Structure 1
Amino acid sequence: MNEKEFWKILDKLDWNNEGDDDLVLKPVIKYLSKLKDEEIFAFHEIMSKLLFNIDGKAWAKDIYKDFSNYSDDDFLYTRCVAIVNGEKYYNSIKNRKKKLNQDLEFESILYVPEEAWNLKHKDDLNEYEYIPKYNYESRSNIDLW
């Protein structure tokens, strides 16, 4: 899987169900669950790298002017919005043509690879053992902080 395929898969998000993250994500999870494990892991890897690439002080400062109300978790969940809104939106955030919106979050996208793997294997989510190379947790991209 490459980034182009990653974005095509995210085009399957069902925004007719906006407000119910599970239903929005369902077509993506179902699609991924039919792929080989390596493809699910590749999806996870690409998602992690994309989030890692916008984990930096410049993006955080757009949201948290003085960092008095900064939250690592909230910053991560806000960065997730850049992913679920597609490649064009993501690139506008990455290239700093648009700013992240503190009032939006989409934490649920983080669990898509595990849920797809679980659906495929009919197994407990705790059994999913893939760890991506890029850590998407806030402040992990030391070079950008």
Structure 2
Amino acid sequence: MKKNQFWKIIKMLDWSNEGDDDKVLAPVIQYLSEQSDEEIFDFENIMSKLLYDIDSKKIAMQLYGTLELFSNDLFLYQRCVAIVNGQGYYSSILYGGRTLDPDLEFESILYVPIKAWAKKHQQDTSNYPHIAEPSYESCSNEELWKN
């Protein structure tokens, strides 16, 4: 899967159901559940890399103003907003034309590949056999967290 295909899949999110993450994500989960395991894992790896690329002290400081109020988990969920809003929005965050909104988060996108795989294989999500690379966890992009 190429990044271009990833962004096409993200466009499948059903924002007519805003407020119900499961319904917003349902078309993407359905689509991915019909793809190969490799495609599901590629989707997750691309998402992880995109999140990694905006995991920076600069973006965190724009969002929080100070690291005294910084939360690793919340910063990850806030970065997810850049993904679910599409390629243009993401690029504007990456290149500094826009800042993340401290009141928005979208943790649920992180579980899409796991749910799609589980649906495809009729397995429990705990059996998901893939670990995304690079890590999307906050502060994992050490280069962008240097002073």
TMscore range, shorter length: over 0.9
Superposed, which structure 2 residues align to 1:31-50 within 5 Å? 31-50=31-50
- The amino acid that maps onto 1:33 is S
- Looking at structure 1, the residues matched to 69 and 86 of structure 2 have their Cα atoms a distance apart, in angstroms, of 28
For structure 1, the 5+ residue unaligned runs are: none
- CA shift, 1:63, in A, is 1.0
2:23 is matched with 23
In 2, Cα distance between the equivalents of 1:115 and 1:22? 11
Question: Over the residues paired in the alignment, what is the CA RMSD in angstroms?
Answer: 0.5
In the alignment, what sits opposite 2:103? 103
Q: Unaligned regions of 5+ residues in structure 2, if any?
A: none
Does 1:55 pair with 2:26?
no
- Amino acid across the alignment from 1:59: I
Partner Cα distance (2:66, 2:99) in 1: 16
Q: 2:113 is matched by which residue type in structure 1?
A: P
Q: Deviations over 1:75-133 (max 9, x none)?
A: 00000000000000000000010001110000000000000000000001011010122
Give the structure 1 partner of residue 87 of structure 2.
Answer: 87
* Cα offsets for 1:38-96 (capped at 9, x unmatched): 00000000000000000010100011112221100000000000000000000000001
Q: Which runs of 4+ in 1 moved over 6 A?
A: none
How high is the sequence identity, in percent, across the aligned residues?
57
Which stretch of structure 1 is more off in the superposition, 62-71 or 51-60?
62-71
TM-score of the superposed pair, with normalisation by structure 2: 0.97
How many residues are paired up? 145
